[in-house]
């Protein structure tokens, strides 16, 4: 290496000819994931830094090992491993699994603290999904609830249509050039046509979502005479986070114009919205509590945080597609090992569903069943990811 011109850490550029040839080519997905993680990591660092500055301002201490601070640090450390792993030239599937694991860090940072307490936890939780469904729109004004229902319906339709078109187009084979591939111009047309059924409702949902958030800000102004974005309650935070994810996803859709990305990314958006609507009880407008009243730090910190989380979560979606695509290159033995792990993790998940059902029926406590279910699903997915990381690490 004679110079420092091409460094791993400087973000690679993507060429348009590659997009036309195969928008889901593994190397390209890896590069896009890396770009998203680079952006998300810088913003996560700035989230921690602005959080520290705000904490100094309001709690008079820049670091107090509060669960939110420490969970952000955990996510930061995981992505630090990702970046240094790339630096060491680790196999790309291994770093892709680390990127998937990073989503756990982000989710832990975003939602975990609401289960742990500490200074960042949002109150007024419903504690169980059934009760949550009853209170999904409680406290909302009629127009706002209508807007919320509309954008939820659009996102759900978008996801289902993305999934349907992805399946229809032969899951992951469209866009992959073969010997009998039509010319590039036709392929572009086909890919756009396949994209539209999912993209149009998603875009409509995003516009309605934007209107709903602006409307919420107006309601906040009317109720509290304070001008600020809806960043104050757990529900508002979830709605903004989902909005940022939709924004990052839609921008990325321009670079990866296939419904597969939608099928992989939309579940994250829907999950965060489900969490926001079901977990938090009353969604009425509240004034900012004293600790959140500095609007400069509120907007700076929260805005950076949600964009950072959004970039990192969407990077998980691209990593997941990368991993599925890279499986094409697996040999038969590796494929069987993978199938065994999928079956083992699936077994744990199914067992969890069974135990949860028994616990719910025997104790009559649905919430306990939900906890068992959540724990076993978390364990199954987490265990699967770690098993794949170990497999990849041994393969080096």
CB neighbours of 189 closer than 8 A, spacing ≥ 6? none
Q: Kindly state the smallest distance separating residue 78's Cβ from other proteins, in Å.
A: 6
Q: Kindly state the smallest distance separating residue 11's Cβ from other proteins, in Å.
A: 6
d(CA 36, CA 57): 31
The residue among 81 and 190 lying less far from other proteins, judged by its C-beta, is 81
Q: Kindly state the smallest distance separating residue 77's Cβ from other proteins, in Å.
A: 4
User: What tokens appear for 62 in the block?
Assistant: 């820049």
Q: Kindly state the smallest distance separating residue 79's Cβ from other proteins, in Å.
A: 10
Q: Output the 3-class SS for the chain.
A: CCCCCCCCCCCCCCCHHHHHHCCCCHHHHHHHHHHHHHHHHHHHHHHHHHHHHHHHHHCCCCCCCCHHHHHHHHHHHHHHHHHHHHHCCCCHHHHHHHHHHHHHHHHHHHHHHHHHCCCCCCCCECCCHHHHHHCCCCCCCHHHHHHHHHHHHHHHHHHHHHHHHHHHCCCCCCCCCCCCCCCHHHHHHHHHHHHHHHHHHHHHHHHHHHHHHHHHHHHHHHHHCCCCCCCCCHHHHHHHHHHHHHHHHHHHHHHCCCHHHHHHHHHHHHHHHHHHHHHECCCCCCCCCHHHCCHHHHHHHHHHHHHHHHHHHHHHHHHHHHHHHHHHHCCHHHHHHHHHHHHHHHHHHHHHHHHHHHHHHHHCCHHHHHHHHHHHHHHHHHHHHHHHHHHHHHHC
The residue among 73 and 377 lying less far from other proteins, judged by its C-beta, is 73
- The contact set with other proteins (CB under 8 A) reads 1-11, 27, 38, 41-42, 45-46, 49, 52-53, 56-63, 65, 67, 70-71, 73-74, 77-78, 80-81, 84-85, 87-89, 105, 108, 112-113, 116-117, 223-224, 284-287, 289-291, 293-294
CB neighbours of 11 closer than 8 A, spacing ≥ 6? 34, 35, 38
Q: Kindly state the smallest distance separating residue 92's Cβ from other proteins, in Å.
A: 11
The residue among 159 and 279 lying less far from other proteins, judged by its C-beta, is 279
The residue among 165 and 233 lying less far from other proteins, judged by its C-beta, is 233
The residue among 109 and 273 lying less far from other proteins, judged by its C-beta, is 109
The residue among 18 and 358 lying less far from other proteins, judged by its C-beta, is 18
The residue among 83 and 190 lying less far from other proteins, judged by its C-beta, is 83
Answer yes or no: are the C-beta atoms of 311 and 44 closer than 8 Å.
Answer: no
The residue among 58 and 210 lying less far from other proteins, judged by its C-beta, is 58
Q: Kindly state the smallest distance separating residue 356's Cβ from other proteins, in Å.
A: 21
Q: Kindly state the smallest distance separating residue 265's Cβ from other proteins, in Å.
A: 23
Task: Count Cβ atoms within 10 A of the Cβ of residue 36 and give its class: 0-12 exposed, 13-18 middle, 19 or more buried.
Answer: buried
The residue among 87 and 207 lying less far from other proteins, judged by its C-beta, is 87
Q: Kindly state the smallest distance separating residue 207's Cβ from other proteins, in Å.
A: 30
Q: Kindly state the smallest distance separating residue 74's Cβ from other proteins, in Å.
A: 5
Q: Kindly state the smallest distance separating residue 363's Cβ from other proteins, in Å.
A: 18
The residue among 67 and 132 lying less far from other proteins, judged by its C-beta, is 67
**Apex 181 CA angle, 193 and 317, nearest 5:** 55
């Amino acid at each position: 290496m004679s110079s420092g011109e091409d460094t791993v850490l400087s973000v690679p550029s993507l060429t348009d000819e590659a997009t036309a040839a195969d928008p889901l080519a593994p190397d390209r997905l890896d590069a896009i994931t890396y770009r998203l993680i680079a952006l998300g990591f810088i913003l996560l660092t700035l989230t921690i830094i602005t959080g520290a500055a705000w904490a100094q301002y309001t709690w008079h201490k820049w670091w107090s090992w509060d669960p939110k601070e420490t969970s952000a640090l955990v996510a930061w450390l995981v992505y630090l491993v990702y970046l240094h792993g790339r630096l060491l030239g680790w196999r790309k599937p291994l770093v892709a699994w680390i990127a998937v694991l990073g989503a756990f860090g982000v989710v832990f940072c975003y939602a975990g603290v609401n289960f742990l307490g500490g200074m960042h936890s949002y109150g007024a939780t419903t504690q169980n999904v059934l009760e949550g469904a009853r209170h999904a729109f409680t406290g909302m004004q009629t127009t706002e609830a209508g807007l919320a229902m509309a954008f939820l319906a659009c996102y759900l339709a978008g996801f289902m249509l993305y999934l349907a078109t992805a399946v229809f187009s032969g899951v992951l084979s469209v866009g992959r050039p073969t010997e009998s591939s039509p010319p590039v111009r036709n392929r572009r047309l086909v890919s756009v046509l396949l994209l539209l059924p999912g993209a149009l409702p998603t875009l409509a949902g995003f516009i309605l979502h934007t209107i709903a958030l602006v409307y919420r800000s107006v309601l906040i102004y009317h109720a509290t005479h304070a001008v600020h974005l809806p960043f104050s309650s757990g529900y508002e935070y979830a709605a903004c986070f989902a909005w940022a994810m939709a924004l990052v996803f839609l921008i990325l859709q321009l670079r990866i114009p296939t419904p597969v990305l939608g099928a992989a990314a939309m579940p994250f958006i829907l999950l965060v919205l489900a969490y926001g609507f079901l977990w938090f009880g009353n969604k009425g407008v509240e004034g900012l509590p004293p600790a959140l009243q500095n609007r400069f730090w509120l907007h700076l910190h929260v805005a950076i945080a949600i964009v950072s989380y959004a970039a990192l979560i969407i990077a998980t979606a691209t990593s997941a597609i990368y991993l599925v695509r890279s499986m094409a290159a697996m040999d038969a033995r590796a494929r069987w090992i993978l199938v065994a792990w999928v079956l083992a993790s699936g077994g744990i998940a199914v067992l969890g569903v069974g135990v949860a059902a028994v616990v719910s029926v025997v104790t009559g406590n649905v919430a306990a069943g939900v906890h068992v279910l959540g724990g076993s699903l978390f364990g199954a997915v987490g265990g699967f990811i770690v098993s794949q990381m170990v497999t990849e690490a041994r393969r080096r």
